[in-house]
Amino acid sequence: MPELPEVEVSRMGITPHVQNQVVTKVNIYNASMRWPVPDDVYQLEGLIVTSIERRAKYLLLHCELGSTILHLGMSGNLRVVDKSEPLKKHDHVEFIFGNGKALRLNDPRRFGCCLWQEPGEVHKLLSKLGPEPLTDDFFAKRVYEQSRNKKVPVKQFIMDNAVVVGVGNIYANESLFKAGIHPKREAGKVSLKRYQALIPIIKDTLAAAITQGGTTLKDFAQSDGKPGYFAQELLVYGRKGKPCMTCENELEEIRLGQRSTIFCSNCQK
């Protein structure tokens, strides 16, 4: 599943081709996605996309009458192509612009979505989300206070979208390793001092991934719409059984919340 940095780089990639452009046509080829694509999305026709915002792993195309909400699900991607380019299998929704470009949502498994948000309202999918991780609203004391009496493992706690959005499995593994915190430690037993170390690490890890993705992104209109997991050296994720890069202890794997969790039992306590 695309994580926050991948979605942010998708936003960066489509923005030059979509922002301030008139939507001349909306085509819904398959409305049966995770939730049915509402006819409200057709309201974009004839309007200018004033901005593209990312909220958690959702992208919002804003216009004066509302916003289209896009999510890539497990396997989806967005492509910017010339409007004359033939459709691909699993191209479910298409927005055609006055500059001759088309933005297409392709999703083989149809776990993504294309929904509508009325102006001045917050869609129910977005209404209970926690703060963005790269903002000042995500800080150690707040997280520490939220964690009190929580028996859930700290890894699952920081992946809870009510606590903070967008800290997915890869970046949770990496951040906890860098902070020296065992992923199974109860969130409520992590001290304020350790959260004060962890939160900046989460921010730096996500920011570095976004920067790496941005530098590898050339012309999104010529790409396949899959920024992927960027060419970065992951310290623990995907390295089960390999030596820890700090102490050379063999990295272990457990399952937490049905997610692969890699850690070093020597470095993480």
> Residues forming the annotated binding site for DNA?
90, 109, 150
Active site residue 183: no
Q: Which of 2, 5, 153, 227 is catalytic?
A: 2
Is 57 catalytic? The answer is: yes
Q: Rounded to an integer, what distance in angstroms lies between the CA atom of residue 220 and that of residue 103? A: 11
Binding site residue list:
90, 109, 150
Catalytic (active site) residue 252 = no
**What DSSP assignment string belongs to 246-259?**
TT-PBPEEEEETTE
Q: Catalytic pick from 55, 57, 101, 104?
A: 57
Burial class (CB in 10 A: 0-12, 13-18, 19+), 176: buried
Collapse the DSSP code of 156 into the 3-class scheme (helix H, G, I; strand E, B; otherwise coil) and give the result: helix
Beta-carbon neighbour count of residue 140 at 10 Å?
A: 16
H or E segment and range at residue 207: helix 192-216
**CA–CA separation, 39 and 90 (whole Å):** 19
Which among 11, 34, 83, 259 is annotated as catalytic? Answer: 259
Is 3 among the catalytic positions? yes
Which positions are catalytic? 2-3, 57, 259
